């Protein structure tokens, strides 16, 4: 079986608060994006994993695809498989490529071994592999809170009918740890948040502000929809800031860094 795990972009990203467990509560809109890896899985007498495309450091057992297989093996008793991953989605880019690969692995193994686990079980398993893995089970536009694992389908895609481009400056990567070191959660800035935008408490699951902003005329997005990581990341990685500005210079109606970077997306009216 062959499939093509796609990446995601963050359409707005607010760092709301630091949690007692060391993680941060976020609010964001996840949108599927067309840049894809290629993943091939088939039953075999022994387990094999191979990978080509963009090189990934570390052992095979550290790869999220293999971790997803091991989880399914432990919890569902599945047999051996051969897995081949062709990596096209860059890492350290905020595109969720590894998370997508892991979630697609769970979905494929469920189908190959006819487990019929169901959506809720797959989402539960995916969420244990990574904060945004769960998004790729449904793989539809969604409003996300918590650490990115509590999802509400959006019901529309604000970028429908628009031309989307995604680029990452060569050699630039931004680790999640680096990005969080440079950001101050919105709760710490006072109850009116950043730039006077009110906070949205996780307990109320009030998606109105960000979701309603996504419904506005695209000409307003530049002011209404922000990624809180940009301010500090751009200081340390000016090439990312210049890429965003280049998109605007080339006529983009909206441009933003996705996730914690280093990739930037721009959208143009068709």
Residues with catalytic function? 8, 132
How far, rounded to the nearest angstrom, does the alpha carbon of residue 235 sit from its chain's CA centroid? 23
User: Alpha-carbon Rg of the chain, whole angstroms?
Assistant: 19
CB distance 110 to 41 below 8 Å? no
> Which three-class secondary structure state does DSSP give residue 71?
helix
The rounded distance, in Å, linking the Cα atoms of 83 and 138 is: 22
E strand or H helix that includes residue 222:
helix 221-224
How far, rounded to the nearest angstrom, does the alpha carbon of residue 54 sit from its chain's CA centroid? 18
- Tell me the helix, strand and coil percentages in the chain, rounded to 5: 35, 25, 35
Give me the residue label for tokens 């860059």.
90
Cis, bond preceding 262 (omega within 30 deg of 0): yes
DSSP code of 233? Answer: H
Name the packing angle between helices 97-112 and 119-129 (round to 10°): 140
Torsion angle of C-alpha atoms 169, 132, 149, 164, degrees rounded to 10: 60
CB distance 126 to 119 below 8 Å? no
Beta bridge partners of 49: 83
Sort residue 72 into left (φ over 0), alpha (ψ -120 to 50) or beta. alpha
């Amino acid at each position: 079986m062959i499939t093509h795990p796609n990446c995601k972009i963050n359409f707005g990203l607010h760092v709301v608060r630091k949690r007692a467990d060391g993680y941060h509560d976020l609010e964001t809109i996840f949108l599927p994006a067309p840049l894809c890896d290629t993943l091939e899985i088939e039953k075999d007498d022994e387990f094999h994993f191979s990978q080509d495309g963009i090189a990934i450091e570390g052992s095979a057992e550290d790869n999220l695809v293999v971790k997803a297989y091991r989880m399914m093996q432990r919890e569902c008793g599945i047999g051996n498989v051969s897995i081949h991953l062709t990596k096209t989605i860059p890492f350290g880019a905020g595109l969720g490529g590894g998370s997508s690969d892991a979630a697609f692995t769970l979905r494929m193994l469920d189908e190959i071994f006819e487990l019929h686990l169901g959506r809720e079980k797959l989402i539960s398993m995916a969420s244990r592999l990574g904060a945004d893995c769960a998004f790729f089970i449904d793989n539809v536009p969604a409003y996300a809170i918590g650490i990115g694992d509590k999802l509400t389908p959006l019901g529309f895609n604000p970028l429908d009918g628009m031309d989307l481009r995604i680029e990452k400056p060569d050699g630039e990567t931004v680790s999640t740890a680096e990005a969080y070191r440079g950001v101050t959660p919105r709760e710490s800035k006072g109850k009116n948040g950043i730039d006077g935008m009110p906070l949205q408490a996780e307990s109320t699951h009030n998606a109105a502000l960000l979701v309603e902003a996504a419904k506005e005329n695209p000409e307003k997005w530049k002011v209404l929809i922000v990624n809180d990581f940009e301010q500090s990341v751009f200081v340390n990685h000016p090439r990312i800031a210049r890429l965003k500005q280049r998109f605007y210079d080339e006529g983009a109606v909206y441009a933003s860094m996705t996730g914690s970077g280093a990739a930037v997306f721009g959208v143009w009216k068709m």
